[in-house]
Amino acid sequence: MHPDHVGGLIDADDQPVFPKARVLVPSGELDYWRGDIPEGAPEVLTKQFQAAHRVIAAAGL
């Protein structure tokens, strides 16, 4: 769920770009990215989690 893999799935308003697309994510990876941002995470990881949370919410995962 890194932004370079899923970032194009939503627009600037967090709306799906491809609303009929089927997004497949392995359950372990989805659980990880759905989780809380790790305490003390570096800024880059925090931004990755924030982006993943936006995509997950928009995709209804």
Per-residue pLDDT of 28-44, as tens digits, reads 999 999 999 999 999 99
CA atoms of 35 and 16, how far apart (whole Å): 21
Q: What is the pLDDT of residue 5?
A: 85
Which residue numbers in the chain have pLDDT < 70? none
Which structure tokens are listed for 38? 């790790």
Burial class (CB in 10 A: 0-12, 13-18, 19+), 16: middle
Contact 11, 60 (CB under 8 A): no
Instruction: Give the count of domains, the chain.
Output: 1
What range does the domain containing 16 cover? Answer: 3-59
Look at residue 2 in the predicted model and tell me its pLDDT.
81
pTM score, whole prediction? 0.85
Query: Please, are residues 17 and 36 in contact by the beta-carbon 8 Å criterion?
Result: no
The two most distant CA atoms of the chain are separated, in Å, by 37
